[in-house]
Amino acid sequence: MSLALSVLDLVPVRSDQTTGDAIAASVELARTADRLGYRRFWVAEHHNMPAVAATNPPVLIGLFAGATERIRVGSGGVMLPNHAPLVVAEQFALLEAAFPGRIDLGIGRAPGSDPVTSWALRHGAGGVDDEAVARFPEYVDNVLAMMEPAGVGLALRGGQHVLKATPVAQTVPQVWLLGSSDYSARLAAAKGMPYVFAHHFSGSGTAEALELYRSTFQPSPELDEPRTFLTVNASVADTVEEAQRQALPQLLQMLALRTGQPLVAQRTVEDAETIVDAGLPEAHDALIEAMRKRWVIGDAASARDELASLAAAYGVDEVMVNPVGGAFAGTDPRTAPARVRTLELLGG
């Protein structure tokens, strides 16, 4: 592929699936991406959501890396304010030791959850509070230093102590900063780190964030020039009509998220069509149409052309697709045929 393609997976949970079913379907998706030559397979971090099983990226990365052979596997991303930097450093140092040269650590600043869940993630100690967010640049530095083979020296109680994420590291994961605003773009540029804009989630400000990153980039020992790509939601099928139908369940999920409706497990295509056919408020129709225009929805030829146009417009040589196609009633719950088919049509 002249345009490098990668995959973002939220491990979606349908109304006909258990968590175990959803994980099995994502393992199949990872194997498909590996077989077809995709560059990376990243998993998100979201909590307490009925339709998302991607709660713990390091655990899932171990599963997916173990089920594949060559593809890079990583986080898109670990929400660092939720976690102690040492814990993240230890997790990814171990993953890199087990799968050397194949692990990416994508780091984000958002909580990835509601305030109550954020509070619980930090053992009731205030959740993702203002201090944790304010110290995000420091936390990033701590993770990077702790994963280095030599470790990092800590001055504590009048003594110097060496802290290592793992005893004998040979290599370190590649670390990316993720964002949907200009904050992470500025920070990645200042630290000389690779950067990814969450175009699939935000849909606006992409060009501005990437230009800010490139124009203010400061070379580092790890990276001498800007390195970036973007993410996009995609539903690709044998026909445009089929791709549009399969996108409906996820469109309704995102509509609920953006309008404050109760979140539910991802509906089947038929259930989603029933809801749409019954009629949505005019404002909701407009929101769905706006999302549909930002997503890549079509057959193989039109979707490939659209991805190439996106890459050219934003000056990137890699695009990460989030395959969002839903399933029809009666689909084997341990499979996700529409998501697999999206990867096959784009990468075949």
Cβ neighbours, 10 Å, residue 148: 14
Rounded to whole angstroms, the Cα distance separating 9 from 339 reads 10
DSSP structural state of residue 333: T
Specify the 3-state DSSP secondary structure of 184: helix
| pLDDT tens digits for range 41-64 | 999 999 999 999 999 999 999 999
The answer on pLDDT for 341 being more than 60 is yes
pLDDT tens across 163-221, in order?
A: 899 999 999 999 999 998 889 999 999 999 999 998 887 667 899 999 999 999 999 99
Asked whether residue 78 carries a pLDDT value surpassing 80, the answer given is yes
> Is the model's pLDDT at 28 over the cut of 50?
yes
What does the block give as tokens for 87?
């814990």
Number of helices (H), then strands (E), in the chain = 13, 11
The confidence score (pLDDT) of residue 65 equals: 98
**What's the CA gap between 111 and 233, in Å, rounded?**
21
User: What pLDDT is attached to residue 158?
Assistant: 80
Question: Over 90: is that where the pLDDT of 76 sits?
Answer: yes
Domains and CATH numbers, the chain: 4-153+162-347 (3.20.20.30)
CB-based contact 6:321 (threshold 8 Å): yes
348 confidence band (pLDDT: 50, 70, 90): confident
* 1: pLDDT strictly greater than 50: no
- What pLDDT sits at residue 180? 85
**Strands annotated E in the chain:** 4-9, 40-43, 72-79, 103-108, 152-156, 159-163, 174-179, 195-197, 228-236, 296-298, 318-323
Q: Are strands 152-156 and 103-108 parallel, antiparallel or unpaired?
A: unpaired
Residue range 253-300, pLDDT digits in tens: 999 999 999 999 999 999 999 999 999 999 999 999 999 999 999 999
pLDDT, average across residues 231-238: 97
- Residue 175's DSSP bridge partners are 105
Q: Kindly report which listed range (126-130, 245-249, 306-310) carries the lowest average pLDDT score.
A: 126-130
Structure tokens at 49: 């959501």
